Amino acid sequence: MMMKVCGVALAACLALLNAHGGAAPAADLKIFGSRVTKMVIGDIGAGFERDTGHKLTVVTDVAAVMKRRIEQGEAVDLAVLVNFQADDLIRQGKLIADTRADVMKSGIGVAVRRGAPKPDISTVDAFKRTLLAARSITYLKEGASTLHLDRVFDELGIAEALKQKTIQPMTEAVSEMVASGEAELGIIVIPKDAVIPHGTVI
């Protein structure tokens, strides 16, 4: 399961952080990450806190926003970002190069409200038809997948048609918007086998 691999990898990152002396003994350690990061830390964090005396605080936001906060000088002990963003921060001297590690791979999925029919995204043409037929769609304004999605929609020739019915929140609210009925389809980054609350991922 991808979540298990992610958990092992993040545990290794926490151990590396502790070995590098990122903070004084019994310090609060601030972690920038996604909701998945917060879920994993929720599973493994208690053991780390017990063994080290450090208290872990996870700050969740979209990766682009977290990158800007680091660039602007905000202190953080561990950042879980998109690979090219981490590389850029290393080049800027904002992150320590030898602490960089790949911890997970994600795909892009479509979420619908619980009980709604699963949309047909079995082929490129079916995906295109589903998007055009949807009453509304939502995906993050600055999410890790946004640049890719914008390019795909442009290549499919549907970018302009989707623009009028697309909602792009600045925060990780896509699944909630689908669950509440504010948007019919949500396009989200998902770790393998992850389940989005109140929605269906296919």
Query: Whole-angstrom Cα distance, residue 142 to residue 170?
Result: 7
Query: Whole-angstrom Cα distance, residue 152 to residue 46?
Result: 41
Domain end: 51, 73, 99, which one?
Answer: 99
pLDDT at 6: 43
Domain end: 99, 117, 134, which one?
Answer: 99
Same domain for 20 and 81? yes
* Structural domains counted in the chain: 2
pLDDT at 191: 61
CATH code of the domain covering residue 29: 3.40.190.10
Query: Whole-angstrom Cα distance, residue 198 to residue 87?
Result: 34
Q: Is 181 left (phi over 0), alpha (psi -120 to 50) or beta?
A: left
pLDDT at 74: 93
Same domain for 164 and 192? yes
Band of pLDDT at residue 199, cut at 50, 70 and 90: very low
Same domain for 14 and 93? yes
pTM over 0.85: no
The residue segments making up the domain with residue 184 are: 106-201
Q: Taking the chain, what is the end-to-end CA distance rounded to the nearest angstrom?
A: 16
Both structure tokens of 3: 């979540």
Same domain for 110 and 130? yes
Same domain for 62 and 132? no
Side-chain half-sphere CA neighbours of 175 within 13 A: 15
pLDDT, one tens digit per residue, over 168-191 is 988 778 889 999 999 999 998 776
Band of pLDDT at residue 141, cut at 50, 70 and 90: confident
